[in-house]
Structure 1
Amino acid sequence: MRLFLLTLVTMIAFAANSVLNRMGLAQTGLDPVLFGTVRLMAGAVMLAVLSFALRGGLPLKGDGRAIGVIALSLYIFGFSLAYTALDAGIGALVLFGMVQVTMFAGALWLGDRVPGLRWAGAVVAFVGLVWLLWPGGGVVLPPLQAGMMVLAGIGWGIYSLNGRRAGDALQATAANFVLAVPIGMGLTLLSGVSSLNPLGIVLAILSGAVTSGLGYALWYSILPRLGATRAAVAQVTVPVLAIAGGMLFLGEVPSLSFLLSVGVVLTGVVLSSLAR
């Protein structure tokens, strides 16, 4: 039960990231690369302070650190660029659908044993994702932003797989954020800042410090107990939470086709969850 509750809190934090990013970009017009960089910086500060306070230091080296930093950067900036046009719920479904595909592929590559029922659930969930993304399927997605979210999903899937071998979850997450900040600053300088908004900065800080920094530290702490395939399945529940958040805070009204595709994805989630 404790693992279930911790996983639920983490999934809520992930969904909140979709809502906060969409609010920061669509409602305040903040530059997407700047949003991602501020998000990284806020997360790095929060996690570094906690790491020094609770662990007495912050070692930046570690097993798989380079992979973690690159994957985190791919996710953060693909995520921000995608939400310049995608609704919160649609973006979350594309993101975590790709996360599931990436983590299942990674689990097989790493030699994990996947039960047959979980395989069936993954296939059903993937069919729902294909239905959403298929041209003429009833949901019109901007190709560039959809592609950015696909890349973000691959990045987050690799980041999650890499997190299974992290030692101390807090220190590993803090080190990843701290080392990714120079990448963000470099991208910001190269792209330039097209728009700046104080409220957008506040939303980026909230997303970075709370729902990203603390949420990802919690995620790293429970990943070893979940395993790759169960972690992948759990994350596909995030779009439902993001849809609810988009309706409450952004006034987004999902189409019938989108809701049906979500239903197919969630059917796959249920099937996979039943596998022992």
Structure 2
Amino acid sequence: MNIYSAKIIACTVFALLAFAGNSILCRMALGEGAIDPASFTIIRLFSGIIVLMVAVFCIRKKSESSAVGSWRGAAMLFIYAVTFSYGYVSLDTGTGALILFGSVQITMAIMNIISGGRPSLYEWLGMIVAFSGLAYLVLPGLTTPSIMGFALMAFSGAAWSGYTLIGKGSVDPLRDTAYNFLRTSPLILLFIYFTFESYDVSSNGFLLAVVSGAVTSGMGYLLWYIAIGGLSITKAAAVQLFVPIIAAFGGLVFSNEIITMHLIEASVLILGGVLAVILGSSRSKKDTDKLARCL
């Protein structure tokens, strides 16, 4: 294994842990009523902006990069963050993460097809099984997640997949991530205007939102932008499905949530579908670049 491969693996692992951490922190804050979803989103994004912009100015390269993110990336990031917070008001940690990253995988697969990709039989089977797992998750039952929570988190996953695809072509992950966060500022201010009357923030909720924004979001997304530079679109979609497992155990440990048989069965279907996608993956770099350019 060369140094570059080791770097990609390390960044991928830490990014996935950060993603799971976001789910855990958000659910801890919102599930216990320590903060409202609007305030959590605002504090999270502003914390990410501060940390990442400081990092940009402290870590200067000899050859200055001109990377400044994009408005499309910022829009996807903002939509993801807002729907993520509101979705977790009514979803358990593991369930929310499963819906989020199941949506990511399916959205990326659909985008791959739209861009002209030709999935193999294994990939088609994987997508069908993964989608079936999501459908099974919302079947009526005692542990069925709320429809609104499901819809919001699925939409959040679609936005995150767009953010991932846009970041695929990043040549300077730190600057692109930082400026994507910074470009959300006008959207945050507009969001504040429409939500300021609903704010309810405790000291614990504020702290959880800051950690989510500065560490598991800001630093986590930076590592993810580095990681996806060495991953195919299919693998980038697939590896994120390990996040729900981590998040579910995090919810068990930190929020005393119960891992139900319904969730386990849905997880087996979705993760089994991911395994089929990985086994059938044959995307070339040319296909990957073509898909990334669509955004």
Q: TM class by shorter-chain length?
A: over 0.9
Residue 9 (structure 1) aligned with residue 14 (structure 2): yes
Q: Secondary structure of the residue that 1:236 maps to in structure 2?
A: helix
Q: Which residue of 1 aligns with 2:212?
A: 207
Residue 72 (structure 1) aligned with residue 58 (structure 2): no
Letter in 1 for 2:111: G
Q: Compute the displacement of 1:12 (Å).
A: 1.0
Q: Which residue of 2 aligns with 1:271?
A: 276
Name the stretch that deviates more: 103-112 or 220-229.
103-112
Residue number among 216, 219, 229 corresponding to 1:224 in the alignment: 229
Q: Which residue of 1 aligns with 2:203?
A: 198
Letter in 2 for 1:239: P
The answer to whether the 8 Å contact 1:48/1:58 transfers is no
Q: Which residue of 1 aligns with 2:111?
A: 106
Q: Which residue of 1 aligns with 2:291?
A: none
Q: Work out the CA distance in 1 between the residues paired with 2:168 and 2:113.
A: 14
Q: Which residue of 2 aligns with 1:181?
A: 185
Q: Work out the CA distance in 2 between the residues paired with 1:243 and 1:275.
A: 27
Q: Work out the CA distance in 1 between the residues paired with 2:9 and 2:226.
A: 13
- Unaligned runs of 5+ residues in structure 1 are none
Letter in 1 for 2:163: Y
Q: Which residue of 1 aligns with 2:93?
A: 88
Q: Compute the displacement of 1:60 (Å).
A: 7.0
User: Number of matched residues?
Assistant: 273
Closer, same or farther in 2 for the Cα pair 1:219/1:247, shift >3 Å?
same
Q: Deviations over 1:77-112 (max 9, x none)?
A: 000011111111000011111111111112223334
Residue number among 148, 158, 166 corresponding to 1:144 in the alignment: 148
Q: Which residue of 2 aligns with 1:132?
A: 137
Q: Deviations over 1:88-137 (max 9, x none)?
A: 10000111111111111122233345443233222222211111023x15
Q: Secondary structure of the residue that 2:193 maps to in structure 1?
A: helix
Q: Compute the displacement of 1:53 (Å).
A: 1.3
Q: Compute the displacement of 1:5 (Å).
A: 3.4
Residue number among 253, 261, 264 corresponding to 2:266 in the alignment: 261
Q: Secondary structure of the residue that 2:59 maps to in structure 1?
A: helix
Closer, same or farther in 2 for the Cα pair 1:264/1:60, shift >3 Å?
same
Q: Work out the CA distance in 2 between the residues paired with 1:164 and 1:9.
A: 18
Letter in 1 for 2:162: I
TM-score (norm 2): 0.87
Q: Compute the displacement of 1:59 (Å).
A: 5.5
Q: Work out the CA distance in 1 between the residues paired with 2:65 and 2:200.
A: 34
The answer to whether the 8 Å contact 1:28/1:199 transfers is no
Q: Which residue of 1 aligns with 2:175?
A: 171
Name the stretch that deviates more: 22-31 or 37-46.
22-31
Q: Work out the CA distance in 2 between the residues paired with 1:30 and 1:121.
A: 38
The answer to whether the 8 Å contact 2:40/2:209 transfers is yes
Residue 117 (structure 1) aligned with residue 122 (structure 2): yes
Q: Compute the displacement of 1:258 (Å).
A: 1.3
Residue number among 54, 59, 74 corresponding to 2:59 in the alignment: 54
TM-score (norm 1): 0.92
Letter in 1 for 2:237: A
